[in-house]
Structures are given as structure tokens and as C-alpha cells.
Amino acid sequence: MKRHGVDAVMKPLLILVSLLVLLAGLVSLWTLGSRAPDAIPGPSVDALLDLDFGAEGFTEVAADRPVRFPADHGAHPEYRGELWNLFGQLNDAQGGRYDFQFSLTRVALAANPSSRASEWAANAIYRGRLTLIRSGETGVRSAERLTRAALGLAGSGSQPISVWIEDWSLSNPDGVPERPRMRLVAGGDGPALALDLDAGKPPIPFSDLGLLGGDVGGPGFQAYLLPRMAAAGTLTLDGETRSVEGQVWLDHAWGTLPTGGGQIGLNRFAIQLDRDRELVCLQLRREDGTGTPIPACALILADGRVESFRRREIRLEPFERWLSPRTGVRYPVAWRLSIPFLELELEIVPLARDQEADDAVRLWSGAVHAKGRLGGEAIAGNGRIETTAELAAPSGI
């Protein structure tokens, strides 16, 4: 019997907002379009955006579209937005440790390239952001790139598979589809990186994680993770270049743009643990902290299998908040997680408190360290948390 209205309405939900955090870079770019862009140096987003910023004509992600490799490692220009987000830990030979995040975001302005003759008439804007925390230092170093795809200043393609913004790029020179090798280059005067990345695990479609309904990556967005890539290359800080090695996690997502509506906040946790395991959790919650927060977690095992856990099997609570002196908003930055079925208990603490991603979007995106126990044995790991701001409960409701 054909499925009809009854079941269609009850079908497990696909929430676009669930990717709000995964797509932090995308959201920040998007919201800059409608909010104050003061924090961004160089050409403002407003200046880059056309006023006729319509959503028509873009491809929407079909619910049953499979993730395909190697094609999906490349760019998806037919979709409205796309994000490449890499983070990880690097170590140098002298025992120095560096936690970084490197993200490249593309937002298309119109489905078809403009016919205007202007040199700015490219149909997408690109934003890059690099943050780095050096162990032993306070504070976060950062660098940004923001430009409209024009004059070859930024772009992306499938052949060869690459995305670039000025002197920043991520390319996919070779490797088998399920175990790609990539090269990350972030040049310039700020922290600069040149890393060869070699996949240690096959890519995992976000929809296989079973988070918040199982098909959060359905219509709206599609995404995959490539955790635990072996990284080797150089890091340049204050003009000094050193060899580094480490482990890097890639998120790659594409689709329509999140609208990031009203009352909802979302937190994401992505941690590379010892014993070749990775943990991904999402927590949906009301911005004002009322109601029941809804966590969902997935543990990726050494062989790539995924174990998913739901709200009632998870305890996930913040135990420290940080008040941003710039925006005056509060973020939950340190967390306790337990999943009794796994005998997993973790304390997740930030490497620095002040890791507010962007003044304009009220998002905290920070490197964290985790330690605790799994199955009766000690375990530790490193990763990132993205969390939206906590608001005071509205009065009179």
C-alpha cells in the first residue's frame, strides 16, 4: 500500500536546524548577511551580497541520495551552500602542541552566474577561518579570508577536486575513494599551515550516525565525516616554521542554507578518543534553557561501525559557563557526558574559555580536551564543541 498522509506526517523528522552547528561556518556567513558584519575585515558581506538574494533554482538534497566517493569529496556548486571544516591536534618535535580549526565556506548568491559585466559578478562568496591554540599560551590566534569568487580569487571544483580562497586551499590529489589523501594549505602572515592528510578510516555519512531521527542529513543537508586523518607537514607561527604531525577530522556538508529559526539552540560535540574511537553528539535545546534538552550520540568504533544512543540513554550536562565580554552572552563550555550502556563517562573541558567563534552569531566553537572512562578503563581525547548562546528565559510565558 502506498504510504499516504498519515505516515508521511509521522515520518521521522528531518530537522534542518540540527546542522546549524555542524555548519557553523555556513551559518556565520549567512547570518552576517542579515546582521551586523562589523567583525569582518575587508569587504563586508553586505557589499558582496546582491539584494536579489533568492533561493530559487538551487538543487535540494533528495532524501535518498547516497553519498558517493570520490565525487562527493569535491565541490557541489549546484547546492546553495557548502562547508569544509577540519580540526585536529598537531605536535612538533619539541613537544609543542597545537589545536586548530580550518574551515572553508561557500554560499552561492544565485543559481545561475550573473550576466553582469562587473568583475565582482561571480556567483558565490567564500569565507575561510583558521583558529589555533598553542599549548601553554593563553588566547586564540586566528586568520580569515573572505572574498567573492571572481578573478580566480576563490573557487571550487571537482576536477581536480579542490576548493580555494586566495592562498588558502584544500585539495584532494589522490588516494582511493574511501581512503582519500588531501592537502591543506593556509598561507599568509597569520598562523600558516601546510599539511598532507591521509585518511585513517573510511568516510562516514552523517545520516549513518543515527542522530536525532536518523536522517538529519536528509532534505536540507547532506554531510559526511572523515575522522582520524593522519596529518604531517609544517606550521608557521610568528615567522617560524616547524614540522608537525597529528590527527585531523574533516566535516564536509552541502545543501540549502539553514534559517536558524527562533527559539532553538544546538550544541555539537566531536571528539577523537584513544583506542581509535570517535564520539559525535548533538544536543538540541531551547535557547532559554527551559524544556528538556535532547541529546543524541554516536560512537564510531575502530572498524568504522557506529553505535547510536538516544536521549534516555545519555546524560549530558554543562558544568561551566563562560560569559563573553564582547557580546555579553553566556555559553556552556565545559560538559559532563555519560552513557551508562557503554560505561562511558567523560569530562569535556575547553583549552581556552574565550573561543567565541564570531561576535555576530553568538556561537562558541572551541577546542576541548576530554578524559574519563570507557568500559572500565581510562580514556582521553581531543576535539571540538560548538555551542549556541544561552539566553535568559523570557518573562511572562
Partner 1 sequence: MVFDIRYPLFHALLILPTLVLFGCDRDPTGKDGVFKAEVGEIPASPQRPGDPDTGYDALLNRSVVTCGLPYGAYLKTRGAAQDAGPQFPGRTGRNAELPYMLTSYVAASGVEIVTSNCLACHASTFNGELVMGLGNAFLDLTVDPLIGIEAAAALVEDGPEATEWRRWADRIGAIADYMMTDTVGVNSANNLTLALMAHRDPETLAWSDSPLIEPPPQTPLPVSVPPWWNMGKKHAMFYNGEGRGDHVRYMILASTTCTDSVEEAAEIDAWFVDVRAFLASLQPPEYPFAVDRALAERGGAVFEKTCKECHGTYGETPTYPNRVIALGKVETDPELARKGFSDADRFLKWFGRSFYGELSQAAPALGYVAPPLDGVWATAPYLHNGSVPTIAALLDSRSRPTFWRFEREGDDRPVYDELALGWTYRALDSGKAGAMSWDERNHIYDTSLPGYGNQGHTFGDDLTDPERLALLEYLKTL
Q: Does 378 bind partner 1 (CB under 8 A)?
A: no
Measured from the CB of residue 251, what is the shortest distance to partner 1 in angstroms?
21
Number of C-beta neighbours around residue 34 at 10 A: 13
Nearer Cβ to partner 1 (77/220): 220
Considering only 25, 81, 191, 260, the residue that binds partner 1 (CB under 8 A) is 260
Nearer Cβ to partner 1 (135/263): 263
Q: Does 70 bind partner 1 (CB under 8 A)?
A: no
Burial of 323 (0-12, 13-18, 19+ CB in 10 A): exposed
Q: Does 342 bind partner 1 (CB under 8 A)?
A: no
Q: What's the rounded Cα separation, in Å, for the pair 2 and 325?
A: 56
Q: What's the rounded Cα separation, in Å, for the pair 318 and 349?
A: 10
- Binding segment for partner 1 among 37-45, 184-192, 216-224, 314-322 (CB under 8 A)? 216-224
Q: Which helix (H) or strand (E) holds 59?
A: none
> Binding marks (x or -) toward partner 1, 277..316, rule CB under 8 A?
-------xxx---xxx-x-------------x-xxx----
Q: Does 66 bind partner 1 (CB under 8 A)?
A: no
With CB under 8 A as the rule, give the number of residues binding partner 1. Answer: 45
- Binding segment for partner 1 among 16-24, 71-79, 103-111, 371-379 (CB under 8 A)? 16-24
Closest Cα partner for 25 from 99, 97, 112, 128?
Answer: 128
> Nearest 5°: CA angle at 126, between 123 and 129?
175
Number of C-beta neighbours around residue 9 at 10 A: 7
Measured from the CB of residue 359, what is the shortest distance to partner 1 in angstroms?
23
Q: What's the rounded Cα separation, in Å, for the pair 397 and 389?
A: 20
The HSE-up count of residue 371 (CA atoms within 13 Å, CB side) is 5
Q: Does 376 bind partner 1 (CB under 8 A)?
A: no
Q: Does 158 bind partner 1 (CB under 8 A)?
A: no
Q: Can you spell out the DSSP letters for 162-221?
A: EEEETTEEEEEEEEETTEEEEEEEE-SSSSEEEEEEE-SS--EEGGGG--TTTTTTSTTE
Q: How distant, in Å, are the alpha carbons of 141, 189, 244, 370 from that of 192?
A: 11, 7, 12, 26
Considering only 256, 276, 304, 354, the residue that binds partner 1 (CB under 8 A) is 256
Q: Which residue has the cell 572498524?
A: 303
Q: Does 210 bind partner 1 (CB under 8 A)?
A: yes
Q: Does 5 bind partner 1 (CB under 8 A)?
A: yes
Measured from the CB of residue 6, what is the shortest distance to partner 1 in angstroms?
5
Q: Does 33 bind partner 1 (CB under 8 A)?
A: no
Interface ranges with partner 1 (CB under 8 A):
1-18, 55, 210, 212-214, 218-220, 256, 259-264, 284-286, 290-292, 294, 308, 310-312, 397
